[in-house]
Amino acid sequence: MPKRTGPTNPVLRKLIRDVRKLGKRKNVRVWLAVAEHLESPRRQRVEVNLSQINRYTVDGETVIVPGKVLAAGALTHPVTVAAFKFSKTAIKKIQSAGGRAITIKQLLEENPSGSGVRLMA
């Protein structure tokens, strides 16, 4: 029997399945790209610092991070950040800047069309 490939975390596998299904059904490229990034090996998964989010976003923008958001740097404007994982300090810094830290599943339910969303990968 061949060895299992891909993520073994059942929560992550279900998220990838849901994101890919919605992306194919509604023909939304951003969701297909998110599913592809989430399937990558853990060593290659994206890690984004708040300083990067601050540098490449504007006030009120929505960002998807298909990996983990880390707390290095400062956030000077409110943004909505959707990610698979957050560090505890990153959540506090995002909320203190007036933004929101949500899961990818929550963003999928709020914005199934994927409009106005920036992928940070």
Inside any domain, residue 88? yes
Inside any domain, residue 3? no
Question: What is the CATH number for 80?
Answer: 3.100.10.10
Return the ∠ at Cα 39 (arms to 111 and 41), rounded to 5°.
140
Looking at the predicted structure, is the pLDDT value of residue 15 above 90? yes
Q: What is the number of domains present in the chain?
A: 1
Inside any domain, residue 110? yes
Inside any domain, residue 55? yes
pLDDT in tens, 39-57: 998 889 999 999 999 999 9
Inside any domain, residue 64? yes
pLDDT in tens, 79-89: 999 999 999 99
Which range of residues forms the domain containing residue 56? 10-119
**Contact indicator for 98, 44 with CB cutoff of 8 Å:** no
- pTM of the full structure: 0.91
**Contact indicator for 22, 112 with CB cutoff of 8 Å:** yes
* Res 5: pLDDT: 72
pLDDT band at 1 (very low <50, low <70, confident <90, very high): low
